Amino acid sequence: MSGILFLCIHNAGRSQMAAGFARELSHGTVNILSGGSEPADQVNPVAVEVMREIGIDIAGYTPQRFTDELLHSVDVVVTMGCGDTCPFIPGKTYVDWPLDDPKGRPLEEVRRIRDEIRARVEDLLAQL
């Protein structure tokens, strides 16, 4: 089973939404993980709300720091705004998604970010 690791700084918004879409859209055929370089205490409540609007519940997930174990357990690493703090492991496929951070943004902007993430996840899964 192939695997995808979604990384952002706080593992509270973008990476959690991407992981939620990937879990839903891959129907369990891909191992989906997420992490951050500086994990927040909880998933962004606005991200939870906009995902819940479309029937995907990410409220039960907890932001976590990425580890070597996470990195070595996947084939694809998707980075979202973590720049130089995101790790590089030779032999992995890396994709960088320049997405706005939903932290502190109004609901309408977070919905736009959510929809952009969905489109990117759909494209990524189609390539696997």
Give the active site residues. 8, 82, 86
Beta-sheet strands, E only, within 53-103 = 76-80, 93-96
How many other CB atoms are found less than 10 A from the CB of residue 56? 18
Give the Cα separation of 45 and 82 in Å (integer): 21
Give 59's DSSP letter: T
Give the Cα separation of 32 and 98 in Å (integer): 20
